[in-house]
Amino acid sequence: MTTLELFRNTALNTPEPIGPRAVVMRGYALPYVDDLLSAIADIVSHAPFRNMVTPGGFTMSVALTNCGALGWTTDRKGYRYTSIDPDTGGPWPAMPDVFAALASEAAAAAGFRNFKPDACLINRYLPGARLSLHQDRNERDFNAPIVSVSLGMSATFLFGGHVRSDKTAKIPLHHGDIAVWGEVDRMRYHGVMPLKDEPHPLLSNQRINFTFRKAG
């Protein structure tokens, strides 16, 4: 068995529970990193990162883009999924094969088989960027899990309960980690604390996080 195979088997067999049906798989995405970054660069060349505006008029500190059949967007009209990128007027870039394969494999490793996402939100965090507590509730299929991949600078993930005021756990997420949550944990409030300026050797002072969903 090679070192890489040993690493993958260790990652597969040691998910870290953060809820009844929620886990973090440390370093699970590391064997995919080169292909993931290449795919992200191609996506961004067609659908650049942008800081969207919320219905309340707040400009998000996290820049984002999408790939897949559907993309999440927000403006003064509300939160929603669309098949068209409002900035380019064309469809969102197709989901790369490596994205779909990793999402399905990670979901299965976390106990959610046959996950086939149709949407992937790609977020870029710079130092100080944060994501306030929220629920992912714009999707039509709440039976499918959320699969969240972290690359670059480390972040503190906030994982709360089903009410915004519930106590939150603070979970460190590092380069290559994948968090998966579904079923009884699917509608938990979650967010990200302001990102510390601790540059990563590969991605410098940014964190790239992308989350797979079944939106349609």
Q: Where are the domains of the chain?
A: 3-213
What are 213's two structure tokens?
Answer: 């969903």
pLDDT score, position 141: 85
pLDDT score, position 1: 33
DSSP strand pairing (178-181 vs 146-152): antiparallel
Model pTM score: 0.93
Q: Which of 144, 156, 44 is nearest to 103 (CA)?
A: 144
Report whether pLDDT(92) > 90.
yes
In the predicted model, what is the mean pLDDT of residues 185-209?
98
Confidence at 13, pLDDT banded by 50, 70, 90: low
Confidence at 115, pLDDT banded by 50, 70, 90: very high
| H helices present in the chain, as ranges | 3-13, 33-46, 97-109
DSSP 8-state symbol, 58: P
Residue 11 main-chain phi, psi, to 5 deg: -60, -40
In the predicted model, what is the mean pLDDT of residues 3-28?
76
CB atoms within 10 A of CB 204: 10
Classify the phi-psi angles of 78: left when phi > 0, otherwise alpha if psi is within -120 to 50, otherwise beta: left
Q: Give domain 3-213's CATH number out of 1.10.10.10, 3.40.50.1110, 2.60.120.590, 3.20.20.10.
A: 2.60.120.590
User: How far is residue 175's CA from residue 91's CA, in Å, rounded to a whole number?
Assistant: 30
In the predicted model, what is the mean pLDDT of residues 4-20?
67
pLDDT score, position 3: 40
User: How far is residue 170's CA from residue 156's CA, in Å, rounded to a whole number?
Assistant: 6
User: How far is residue 43's CA from residue 25's CA, in Å, rounded to a whole number?
Assistant: 25
CB atoms within 10 A of CB 120: 28
In the predicted model, what is the mean pLDDT of residues 167-185?
98
CB atoms within 10 A of CB 191: 16
pLDDT score, position 44: 98
